[in-house]
Amino acid sequence: MEPVSKKIKRCPICRKDLPEGTNPFRPFCSERCKTIDLGSWLDGKYRVPDPEPTEDWAPPPA
């Protein structure tokens, strides 16, 4: 039987290969990259799209 090839995981911020095993900053490679990502969320660089309102949608009464 052939060994299963592992997909290389990379840090989403700096793109470095992630170390195998336990990593307290997973999915990031370091606390620095984890903090950079948090800052991006807090600055509003990442957003979850708001769905378009449907025709039958009405704002709640004031």
| pLDDT for the residue 3 | 62
| CB atoms inside a 10 Å sphere around CB 33 | 18
> Averaged in consecutive runs of 10 residues, what is the pLDDT profile of the chain (62 residues)?
70 90 88 96 86 73 77
| pLDDT for the residue 30 | 93
> For residue 37, what are the CA distances in angstroms to 3, 15, 28, 50, 61?
34, 13, 9, 21, 38
| pLDDT for the residue 48 | 80
* pTM value > 0.75: no
